[in-house]
């Protein structure tokens, strides 16, 4: 159920690599990232996003001296039937919006694809955006510049793409200026090229464990862990509802009942401009810049 008009699109710009683990071995990578089954595009599952929101808000609200029960009131509480209730928010998986790829025209460029833009178009409609530009098709070895100035042949990892005949797409340039202002150069490439890059151009790091006594690597400790690279751009939808705790328990509470708009306010203020998602928090991984977007902001 999509409640009322209180909904946002939240854009995450990775300041450090992100590891949202899939929990299974894939080829030579021991700890791969989460991916969609049908596209193999990177995602961060909704459970991980909601957990990160809850943890971040709990810390922020505690510092501000908010009611200790606010976290349970908004994110839900597990327990016996009369003492449990659903949360007041719904979140989707975080999906890839733009993927950074090393290139000769700059330290790196971002790429996206027609299939991704069509999906993004549908998600923008959910938050009330109506005047969405059409999505241009792109040949396998071509590109269209959506943002920034890029001309001539472009090397993306180990593939070469050439400028398409029609380069003007100012409608999407305006949208991405609002969604991802930190993206400097954005290219629209074919779905095949995009799929190849998000499968083969992620970051893989080797990890080992060290013996305390000898200071050398433990036998069998070498493992390879996959990350979404720094500068990756993801987004998810979030829906806000009236809090359910008072309605579920059927008795008056001392606190002020939170309507959907109040829930949206306390969450966006609690998160602020940054959040950490995925694993390896103590290694500085998963730190993202946050951009809350409504239809009014596009």
pLDDT in tens, 46-64: 999 999 999 999 999 999 8
Q: Is residue 170 domain-shared with residue 135, that is, in the same domain?
A: yes
Cα–Cα dist 146/169, whole Å: 6
Give the model confidence (pLDDT) of 246-282 as tens digits. 554 555 555 677 888 999 999 999 999 999 999 999 9
Cα–Cα dist 20/44, whole Å: 6
Pairing of strands 106-112, 94-103: antiparallel
Q: Is residue 239 domain-shared with residue 169, that is, in the same domain?
A: no
Cα–Cα dist 220/230, whole Å: 29
Choose between 260 and 187: higher pLDDT: 187
The answer to whether residues 229 and 107 touch, using CB atoms and an 8 Å cutoff, is: no
Band of residue 180 on the pLDDT scale cut at 50, 70, 90: very high
The pLDDT of residue 5 is 64
**What's the average model confidence in pLDDT over 101-110?**
95
> For tokens 């080797």, what's the residue?
206
Q: Is residue 1 domain-shared with residue 67, that is, in the same domain?
A: yes
In this structure, is residue 292 part of a structural domain?
A: yes
Give the model confidence (pLDDT) of 7-23 as tens digits. 999 999 999 999 998 87
Q: What are the structure tokens assigned to 274, written together?
A: 């940054």
Q: Which of 201-205, 218-222, 262-266 has the lowest mean pLDDT?
A: 218-222
Q: What is the pTM of this model?
A: 0.91
**What's the average model confidence in pLDDT over 281-294?**
96
Type and span of the H or E element at 276: strand 274-276
**What's the average model confidence in pLDDT over 102-124?**
96
Burial of 243 (0-12, 13-18, 19+ CB in 10 A): buried
Q: What are the structure tokens assigned to 73, written together?
A: 């009131």
Q: What are the structure tokens assigned to 12, written together?
A: 């995450």
**What's the average model confidence in pLDDT over 158-164?**
95
In this structure, is residue 206 part of a structural domain?
A: no
Q: Is residue 128 domain-shared with residue 193, that is, in the same domain?
A: yes
Domain of 167 in residue numbering reads as 100-201
Q: How many domains does the chain have?
A: 2
Residue 132: pLDDT over 70 = yes
Buried-state track 98-131, b at ≥16 Cβ within 10 A, e below 16: bbbbebebeebbbbbbbebbebbbebbeebebee
Q: Is residue 60 domain-shared with residue 130, that is, in the same domain?
A: no
């Amino acid at each position: 159920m999509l409640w009322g008009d209180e909904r946002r699109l939240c854009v995450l710009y990775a300041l450090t690599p992100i590891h949202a683990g899939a929990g299974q071995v894939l080829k030579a990578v021991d700890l791969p990232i989460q991916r969609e089954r049908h596209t193999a595009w990177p995602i961060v599952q909704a459970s991980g996003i909601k957990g990160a929101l809850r943890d971040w808000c709990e810390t922020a609200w505690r510092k501000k001296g908010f009611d200790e029960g606010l976290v349970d009131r908004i994110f839900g509480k597990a327990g016996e039937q009369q003492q449990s209730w659903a949360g007041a928010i719904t979140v989707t998986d975080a999906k890839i919006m733009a993927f950074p790829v090393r290139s000769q025209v700059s330290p790196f460029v971002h790429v996206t694809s027609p299939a991704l833009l069509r999906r993004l178009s549908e998600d923008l409609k959910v938050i009330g955006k109506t005047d969405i530009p059409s999505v241009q098709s792109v040949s396998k070895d071509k590109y269209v510049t959506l943002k920034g100035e890029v001309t001539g042949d472009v090397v993306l990892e180990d593939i070469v793409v050439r400028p398409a005949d029609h380069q003007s797409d100012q409608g999407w340039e305006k949208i991405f200026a609002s969604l991802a202002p930190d993206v400097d150069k954005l290219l629209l490439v074919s779905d095949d090229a995009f799929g190849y890059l998000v499968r083969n151009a992620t970051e893989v790091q080797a990890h080992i464990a060290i013996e305390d006594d000898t200071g050398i690597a433990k036998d069998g400790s070498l493992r390879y862990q996959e990350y979404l690279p720094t500068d990756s751009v993801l987004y998810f939808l979030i829906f806000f509802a009236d809090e359910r705790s008072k309605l579920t328990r059927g008795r008056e509470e001392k606190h002020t009942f939170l309507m959907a708009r109040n829930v949206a306010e306390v969450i966006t203020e609690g998160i602020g401009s940054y959040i950490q998602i995925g694993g390896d928090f103590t290694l500085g991984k998963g730190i993202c810049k946050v951009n809350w977007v409504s239809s009014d902001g596009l």
